[in-house]
Structure 1
Amino acid sequence: MTAVDTDIIAVARDQVLERGEGLSQEQLVQVLRLGDDRLEELLELAHQVRMRWCGPEVEVEGIVSVKTGGCPEDCHFCSQSGRFPSPVRSAWLDIPGLVRSARETRATGATEFCIVAAVRGPDARLMSQVREGIKAIREDGNDIQIACSLGMLTQEQVDELVAMGVHRYNHNLETARSHFPNVVTTHTWEERWETLRMIREAGMEVCCGGIIGMGESVEQRAEFAAQLAELGPDECTMNFLIPQPGTPYEQYEIVEGRDALRTVAAFRLAMPRPLLRFSGGRELTFGDLGTKQGMLGGINAIIVGNYLTNLGRPAAQDLEMLDELSMPVKALNQSL
């Protein structure tokens, strides 16, 4: 144990827990380099930060893909890219299917339903599908909050989504700015940042995170967390790489559980107040025990059910876990 290790925990306790100020990039590197013998202490601190600045509630969300596969971008982690020989093929979800998925999501107690499409950005057909889908969900009597993740947007499209009643938009930066060109070459980190700027200025909530385990260094993980903190999202999604067949990352190793937990805690210490959501890859990276540790290490939101192209845990299993941990599911009227 070094003096630096001891100091960074003490510094974080004062700076983040007591004053609500996130750690800097340099401080986050120190956190990410803490030994396994300090992990329990680190997770406990991250949980204390979450409880103080966010409270005990957990926001539950379901997602559905309205347009799957055939994406023209070359995101190296994604089986939905039309540039790779992955088994995912292009398909559209019809309006009745969208309504049914929203109804099933609301029945779990979830307050958030995110409509996702594998595209560079939405065309007229997709915008129409989303508009009609939201209308049909409301006509079905469903009061769930609706979010979207439809790629990069124009200002006109941002305004359209606001008019549709979309309250939150997900657009992940995916990784640190310095590492992004190694992950995606068909668009830039800056283009994503511009979409996020327009979303924020239009009054929609911003959901932004990324994927851990794509060959980034410890320093780049710290850089990514600091860049997200600068953005100030309302929600940060934490995904862990699922090596997908046919993609350039199919041979990458799964993030080791303790390393992933250390990363979760670091992101909470970088961002004391936003929702920090367990998303894709948690089942593979953590398993049941690690998922509970993450919930006690800074996480306060989860996606229940299946992901876009991967199976998740049954929603009932996650809800039982939250009950065991005495973590109440955030009610709809609390998140409006």
Structure 2
Amino acid sequence: MTPPPISTAPATVDILDQAREQVLERGVGLTESQVLDVLRLDDDRLEDLLALAHDVRMKWCGPEVEVEGIISLKTGGCPEDCHFCSQSGLFQSPVRAAWLDIPSLVEAAKQTAKSGATEFCIVAAVRGPDARLLAQVAAGIEAIRNEVDIQIACSLGMLTQEQVDQLAAMGVHRYNHNLETSKSHFPNVVTTHSWEERWNTLRMVREAGMEVCCGGILGMGESLEQRAEFAANLAELEPDEVPLNFLNPRPGTPFGDLDVLPASEALKSVAAFRLALPRTILRFAGGREITLGDLGAKQGILGGINAVIVGNYLTTLGRPAEKDLDLLVDLQMPIKALNDTL
């Protein structure tokens, strides 16, 4: 009998085997096409995927978890049309414009520090800061520094070079400005400014010596291909921190009727972003409560996450800080000390 011909076609290499050698062993993040392969994995591979992402996090980031609290200095009335956001003044949402006074800001920083957090982020719903807002931020930072030992971050929208320099001079440790989604999907999410405008702000922030915090929201109607593209966009930017949010559909916004992302898809995304960004702080942020619940929080922290926002978010409720902190104790994951963030 004539033996069958020997195939010369290359054998299919499993994406998790590739990631194990490339990311875990060598610390090289997955490419866009490789991230897409991860996102397309069947749900029965999820446990193996999360275990690998956890191994990558432990090897390249260590066991410490960075804890952060956020506070809204200026809420609502934003002129931009980010379709996910109830703070836009263009939508019929229940959020109304309001300012927080300096004593309340200091008290929020104190409560955040008591939770063990090392980072306190001052956020404002604006296109970019005007002179009044920057003066309020400067006064707030000075007042906080007089009473609280904590790193201060800001998220104030798009910046000019002069504004970047002012914030750096104030001693802002980290600046958050999310790209929100992939470059190709961005016009479906925001029309009042461009993805490139956000990118330019992030470039100036890095050049000024502040740490760059940049992430986005998953579940805004993007395809798996666009989700993989977003991971690649972030890998190119090389941010110090990536907050991963999951859409919590807000009444009155254009995305108010979108479905919540399935938990398995959300966890696959967490692991995929860890494999694309092996050395980056990957932070659980908004929407994880309704997307993942208590069990998902544990799975995420054992699947690549190494930072959390504790307490409430800007316009939605989060998990009680004690729940997250107790979970970290149960998992024997220490909270990163303040002197480790300097």
Q: Which amino acid aligns with 2:336?
A: K
Partner deviation per Cα, 1:13-33 (whole Å, 9 max, x = no partner): 000000000000011110000
The answer to whether the 8 A contact 1:32-1:218 is kept is yes
Match of 1:192 in 2: 198
Match of 2:30 among 4, 23, 32: 23
The answer to whether the 8 A contact 1:4-1:30 is kept is no
- Counterpart CA distance in 1 for 2:282 and 2:186 is 21
Could you list the runs of 5+ residues in structure 1 that have no partner in the other structure?
none
Deviation at 1:4, TM superposition (A): 9.0
Match of 2:42 among 35, 45, 69: 35
Task: Provide the aligned length of Structure 1 versus Structure 2.
Answer: 333
- Counterpart CA distance in 2 for 1:154 and 1:184 is 20
Match of 2:116 among 92, 97, 109: 109
- Counterpart CA distance in 1 for 2:313 and 2:179 is 18
Deviation at 1:5, TM superposition (A): 8.3
- Counterpart CA distance in 1 for 2:143 and 2:134 is 14
- Counterpart CA distance in 2 for 1:4 and 1:265 is 25
Match of 1:302 among 298, 308, 316: 308
Where do residues 214-229 of structure 1 align in structure 2 (5 Å cutoff)? 214-229=220-235
The answer to whether the 8 A contact 1:145-1:167 is kept is yes
**Quick one: percent identity of the two aligned structures?**
73
| 3-state secondary structure, aligned to 1:96 | helix
| 3-state secondary structure, aligned to 1:147 | strand
Match of 1:174 in 2: 180
Match of 1:287 in 2: 293
| 3-state secondary structure, aligned to 2:298 | helix
- Counterpart CA distance in 1 for 2:284 and 2:131 is 32
TM, length-normalised to structure 2 = 0.96
Where do residues 1-336 of structure 1 align in structure 2 (5 Å cutoff)? 7-140=14-147, 142-336=148-342
Alpha-carbon RMSD across the aligned residues, in angstroms, is 1.0
Q: Which amino acid aligns with 1:288?
A: D
The answer to whether the 8 A contact 1:56-1:327 is kept is yes
Could you list the runs of 5+ residues in structure 2 that have no partner in the other structure?
1-9
Point out the structure with max Rg over C-alpha.
2
Moved over 4 A (4+): 3-6
Deviation at 1:7, TM superposition (A): 1.4
Deviation at 1:143, TM superposition (A): 1.2
- Counterpart CA distance in 2 for 1:9 and 1:96 is 51
Deviation at 1:138, TM superposition (A): 1.1
Deviation at 1:317, TM superposition (A): 1.0
Match of 2:7 in 1: none
TM, length-normalised to structure 1 = 0.98
Q: Which amino acid aligns with 2:207?
A: E
| 3-state secondary structure, aligned to 1:165 | coil
